[in-house]
Structure 1
Amino acid sequence: MVKKKGKISRFFDIRSTVFFEITIGIIANTVLLLFHILQFLFKHKPKPLDLTIAQLALIHLVMLVTMGFIATDTFGFQGWEDGLTCKVIIYMQKLMRALSICTTCLLSILQAITLSPRNSTLAKFKHKATYRYPCCLVCLWVFNMLLNGRFLVSIGATPNVTSHSLIFVTESCSQWPISYLFRYIFFSLANIQDISFIGLMAFSSGYMVSLLSRHKRQIQHLHSTSFSSKSSPEGRATQTILLLMGFFMLMYFLDCVTFSSRAILWNNDPISLCVHMLLGNGYATVCPFVLMRTEKRMIGCLTFWWKR
């Protein structure tokens, strides 16, 4: 009896942490998004890097809001009676998760292009990125909307009758089975996309590390002293994005491990479900705080308002 109470107590503690994490993430992404919206209003030509950060904040904001609805239904606070709500919420959450991977990869590639020297191959894309970037964003959104469109068809309200063919997504929503061919096609496309973008992240991150190391050696050779702790704005931005890439890959790996563990070993254990949700929301919550490190004007404004 004591052991059962201890397990329930830990479940409530982790559940409270899930909602706290979602709330903090929503606030942080809202602040970051509003800051860039104000920047866009005062700037005639926003840079692709700024557009990417603003889009990432918007994606994570929607992702955390939908996850809040999913957590509310999963933990039994409020259910959804109609299938349309299930379709929209689950579809938006899956779509935002896929777009988060794509946009994070774009952020890494754009920073690598920005950091590249003039005589490099990537330098040729600096001017092209400004004009072709909107088309790239539209293509990514359309592709992911179509790829995740299967959830609009397969997700519905959980019926009152028991069925072994259903896959429970939340307390009120279930996924109906689709044909093996379509399931294999969608699964393959989603995995190819994830692997491709993560590979591009790793490549661009390695390229930026090599550029920073080369720049550090040049500075040491010119001044014959240790590398100054005051790096350039580009260097700080690159270090921030590298930190973001590393954290994203760690969270993605842990999320995959916990999802597989739940499917194989833990089944529907509530504590494992909460841990999986914590890891799934970790990147979207931490990301805005990491990006804020490079925005000195934003930090100055927040400090000013805090002192008032």
Structure 2
Amino acid sequence: MASSDLAIGVIFLSQTVVGFLGNFLLLYHYSFLYFTRCTLRSTDLIIKHLAVANSLVILFKGVPQTMAAFLLKHSLSDIECKLVFYVHRVGRGVSMGNTCLLSVFQAITISSRDSRWTELKLQTPKYIGLFSILCWVLNMLVNICVSMHMIGKQNSKNNTAKVDYGYCSGTVNNRTALSLYNSLLLFYDILCVGLMIWASGSMAFTLYRHKQQVQHIHGTNLSPRSSPESRITQSILVLVSSFVSFFTLSSILSLYSSFFHKPSWWLVNTSALITSCFPTVSPFIFMSRDPRISRINYAC
């Protein structure tokens, strides 16, 4: 085994373990808050769905990449490749959708009382669970197409029209249908990222205006303690900023690799690492900025 393969394998393994444990702890903490009824928020349900989706992305991307990096003899069969890619794509889509839902919901929640969103603000908490479930169903239906052109490495030797992912291969039998499918996924990605950017801008403007009003009332020398809504809004802004950054970098690398019939080793692995960065980082953003979690070990 080459030293480069060993190094990338250790990185993938570390990222998988840290990311899965982080999302497991996040899901545990928010489930504990739910069952003990300790200061529940409307965003908690979205965050739990996000933790589950991120765990799927990490497991079904990180484990196969780790196996491929360590050059393990077991190669995935056609069915295993279809399952791995399908679950990974569903988890990725749900993660993106719930991050978008979280940012939009919080932007509506902190909007001013006299805004045109007042009526919507009162109704949105009732439909959070429905929107999260619809996000799962939509991605489960759309990503069925992924399983149709994924095959194991052992069956891809005689297939020239293929894309090598390290542990599986993707066949390109109908370029027109594949282009239409990729356009559909691209539309979903652009829509979610666009809504995230809009919601982030709206939240940042609302927080800035609120800060100016507070300083005008209390004076510039007084720094009042931020409210729970302000803290969760700041957490979501950090979350969305990290998501957009990792998503943009991952998209650039994926677009760059699409110009090559056989992308280089470092390009495939770098793209895979960046893809799993957001699911790995996001639970620690929530746990570090939510004071309820730090009090679980002491009060609840």
TM-score by length of 1: 0.88
Report if the CA contact (8 A) 2:232-2:290 is conserved: no
Matching residue of 2:212: 217
Matching residue of 2:166: 170
Q: Is 2:36 aligned against 1:42?
A: yes
Matching residue of 2:285: 290
Report if the CA contact (8 A) 1:14-1:271 is conserved: no
Q: Deviations over 1:47-93 (max 9, x none)?
A: 43100011111111111111133213422225345321111111001
Report the alpha carbon displacement of residue 197 of structure 1 after superposing the two structures with TM. Answer: 0.9
Report the alpha carbon displacement of residue 196 of structure 1 after superposing the two structures with TM. Answer: 0.8
Equivalent position amino acid for 1:102 in 2: G
Matching residue of 1:198: 193
Q: Deviations over 1:139-191 (max 9, x none)?
A: 222221111111222212231642212222333x2222242332122111111
Report the alpha carbon displacement of residue 226 of structure 1 after superposing the two structures with TM. Answer: 4.0
Equivalent position amino acid for 1:281 in 2: S
Task: Please list every run of 5 or more consecutive structure 2 residues that lacks an aligned counterpart in the other structure.
Answer: none
CA distance in 2, matches of 1:29, 1:303: 21
Measured on the aligned residues, the alpha-carbon RMSD in Å equals: 2.5
Matching residue of 2:98: 103
Amino-acid identity (%): 26
* Superposed counterparts of 1:102-181, under 5 Å: 102-158=97-153, 159=155, 161-171=157-167, 173-181=168-176
Q: Is 2:57 aligned against 1:57?
A: no
Q: Is 2:289 aligned against 1:299?
A: no
CA 1:105–1:211: 2 relative to 1, 3 Å = same
Matching residue of 1:70: 64
CA distance in 1, matches of 2:284, 2:238: 12
Tell me the matched-pair count: 297
CA distance in 1, matches of 2:178, 2:222: 53
Report the alpha carbon displacement of residue 267 of structure 1 after superposing the two structures with TM. Answer: 4.3
TM-score by length of 2: 0.90
CA distance in 2, matches of 1:46, 1:149: 35
Report if the CA contact (8 A) 2:45-2:129 is conserved: no
Equivalent position amino acid for 2:55 in 1: L
Task: Please list every run of 5 or more consecutive structure 1 residues that lacks an aligned counterpart in the other structure.
Answer: none
Counterpart secondary structure, 1:162:
coil
Matching residue of 1:22: 16
Equivalent position amino acid for 1:206 in 2: G
Report if the CA contact (8 A) 1:167-1:174 is conserved: yes
